[in-house]
Structure 1
């Protein structure tokens, strides 16, 4: 068994879960004042862009963490962080360490990676697909003719 083939989907699945969970925590902190947040005043319902950004963080983060609609959710999360970086942070200084935009830049690239590579292991979509189509997910049984030819 090739360890690289086993470990990449496993690590990617864990990465997706952690990144999605952390992102959802940002949204929950901003919207509900829990987990030590929000930093500053909570945005009013529907306020642009704060309330909408927190909504994307919470729902997008949960979808990514669960592995439900992972690629589209991760793409929206990545785009929202690119917007946050270039509109809220980059005008203040060139580098993320100077303008406070490191979390936005890191989340942007993390979600772009998840968009490109997919959910890895333990996604809700794969679980639902496998339970709906058990023949497709079950390993193929070897036939007698297979055994004699190999």
Structure 2
């Protein structure tokens, strides 16, 4: 019996979604570990926990870990979407509002919309949410 292309995509889409979730969350998590632990070393030592950068680090580490695990994916992704939008408007937009490439805000915009996708689509396969029937 032959499988159609649509069947193949239906089988692999949640898996590809999970791989994207895990990779994006791992890279996002590194923003927080760089802030608090200087891993990877970016010279960001001395970030105060009770500051905007400290809050950013907490969201990046906590949200990144939850996204990697696929736990509470939709609400976490929604919060991270808002966080990265605020980061864009606070840190990057004043430099050149409509040009993320010029103002250094391209990663914030990309993270914002990737997290928006996960807020709507869920975790995909290989997640705690999927094992709980919440994906």
Under a length normalisation based on structure 1, what TM-score does the superposition of the two structures give? 0.80
Q: Deviations over 1:1-59 (max 9, x none)?
A: 41011111111011111111111111111111111235x45421211x11001110110
TM-score of the pair, normalised by structure 2: 0.88
Aligned residues: 127
Moved over 2 A (4+): none
Alignment partner of 1:106 is 2:105: no
* Structure 1: runs of 5+ lacking an equivalent: 131-150
Structure 2 residue runs of 5 or longer lacking an equivalent are none
Distance in structure 1 (CA, Å) of the matches to 2:67 and 2:130: 13
Residues 1-150 of structure 1 mapped to structure 2, 5 A cutoff = 1=3, 2-38=7-43, 40=44, 42-47=46-51, 49-94=52-97, 95-127=99-131, 129=132
Alpha-carbon distance in structure 2 between the residues aligned to 1:82 and 1:33: 24
C-alpha RMSD of the superposition: 1.4
